[in-house]
Amino acid sequence: LFLQMKFDKEGNTTYFEKKKTELYQELGLQARDLRFQHVMSIATRNNRIIMRMEFLKAVITPEFLLILDYRNLSLEHWLLNELASQLAGEGQLVTYSLPFEFRAIEAILQYWISKLQGRLNTLQPQILETLEVLVDPKLLSVDRSKLHILLQNGKSLSELETDVKVFKETILEILDEEEVIEELCLSKWTDPQVFEESTSGIDHAEEMELLLENYYRQAEDLLNEARELRVLIDDSESIIFINLDSHRNVMMRLNLQLTMGTFSVSLFGLIGVAFGMNLESSLEEDPRIFWLVTGIMFLGSGLMWRRLLSFLGRHLDPPLPPHVPAALKKSQPAAGRVDIKTSLKGETFGLSRSTLTNQ
């Protein structure tokens, strides 16, 4: 049995269950036409439009819209609260003056693109907040819980990019076929008088093409936003690795300095070892020898350590940047206002330069 919801031109809604064979005969379709899978496609069969939007399965005729297997919480909320009013002309559909199939197609496309936009609006602040914490140069270690959250959000972002690409490709396949666009105008075949040029001089086939192009552009903009967020994640991952390498280099340098200090003290400590042996000489009788030997040990150790540190600085410190003429500095335009994503990118790249200088 198919659990169905039927909407007519006035937005009236009826619910009923019907066997598949009865539904095939009533709609004039074949079994394979209603063999819905979790794919996305828009096709025409026997003056019927069959739309598959993953879990959203619809059949559009010139007189009514049929939703099949709508048992989904978010889908039921849209069907009960928004779709009926949109089809009746109470919503914000731009195709209300056109035949019924235009309104039905626009309502379904609008629902799907708003659902994809909502997923992006949910992921974007979470990802930006997580990246802002992870790229902080003051942190000596990375919070694993934040990395786990970033991994989950990155996976959700990849799924969103895939869904948007499939949506784009589905619309693009129709835009590349003029015959399919004309077949979507069901009123052309049922009521030829309705299929006339509109007041703007554009026929209904061109209206359908403009409608599909509009949602194709919206999907393209949505995909570009998702790609920018993906690039920001990749750049931030590089900054995280640079920060960790910088802290690790600081610890290694500190360890090297302490090793050189220990070597210097041990080297000049041999003098004290020599005087500490059980050997008699005339020097141990002079009270000034103790302070003289101790001063030579500390002074020699300090000079040796200072010499080693200067050698380390010459070989590890980066060279000074090249001199930039003042004329070139004045010619650079002042930075304007940027959004949160651009500011985060600038902050992370600035952190990368500071960490490289520390290295």
Question: pLDDT 10s digit of each residue in the chain, 359 long?
Answer: 677 888 888 878 888 887 777 777 788 777 777 776 667 888 888 888 888 888 888 888 888 888 887 776 577 778 878 888 888 777 677 777 788 888 889 999 999 999 999 999 999 999 888 888 877 766 656 667 777 888 888 899 999 999 999 999 999 989 888 888 888 887 766 665 555 544 445 577 888 888 999 999 999 999 999 999 988 888 877 777 777 777 777 778 788 778 878 877 777 777 777 777 766 666 767 778 777 878 888 888 888 878 777 777 765 555 555 554 554 444 444 444 334 444 444 444 444 434 434 43
Report pLDDT for 349.
Answer: 40
Q: Which domains are present in the chain?
A: 1-92 (2.40.128.330), 247-276+288-311 (no CATH)
**Is 96 exposed, middle or buried (CB count within 10 Å of its CB: 0-12, 13-18, 19+)?**
middle
Report pLDDT for 350.
Answer: 46
Q: pTM higher than 0.85, yes or no?
A: no
**Based on C-alpha coordinates, what's the Rg of the chain?**
37
Orientation of helix 144-175 relative to helix 100-134, angle to 10°: 150
- SS3 call for 3: strand
Q: Check: CB of residue 125 under 8 Å from CB of residue 230.
A: no
Residue 230's contacts (CB-CB under 8 Å, 6 or more residues apart) are 154, 157, 161
Report pLDDT for 322.
Answer: 52
Q: Helix %, strand %, coil % for the chain, to 5? A: 65, 10, 25
- Among residues 103, 93, 136, the alpha carbon closest in space to that of 8 is found at 103
Report pLDDT for 351.
Answer: 41
Angstrom distance (rounded) from CA 16 to CA 3: 6
Cα-Cα-Cα-Cα dihedral sign, residues 181, 187, 189, 195: negative
Q: Check: CB of residue 10 under 8 Å from CB of residue 88.
A: yes
Buried b (16+ CB within 10 A) or exposed e, 266-302: eebeeeeeebeeeeeeeeeeeeeeeeebeeebeebbe
- Rounded to 5 degrees, what are φ and ψ at 118? -65, -40
- Rounded to 5 degrees, what are φ and ψ at 233? -65, -45
Q: To 5 degrees, how large is the angle CA 344–CA 347–CA 350?
A: 150
Report pLDDT for 226.
Answer: 92
Residue where the block lists tokens 């993906």: 230
Please report how many Cα atoms fall inside a 13 Å half-sphere around the Cα of residue 220, on the Cβ side.
8
Report pLDDT for 311.
Answer: 73
- Among residues 21, 13, 38, 110, the alpha carbon closest in space to that of 4 is found at 13
Tokens (6 digits) for 315: 């070989």
Tokens (6 digits) for 267: 């080297």
Residue where the block lists tokens 């540190």: 309
**Is 308 exposed, middle or buried (CB count within 10 Å of its CB: 0-12, 13-18, 19+)?**
middle
Angstrom distance (rounded) from CA 201 to CA 323: 64
Helix (H) or strand (E) holding 308: helix 288-316
Alpha-carbon distances, residue 2 vs 11, 41, 62, 70 (angstroms)? 21, 20, 21, 10
Instruction: Mark residue 46 as left, alpha or beta (left: phi above 0; alpha: psi -120 to 50; beta: remaining).
Output: left
Report pLDDT for 196.
Answer: 52
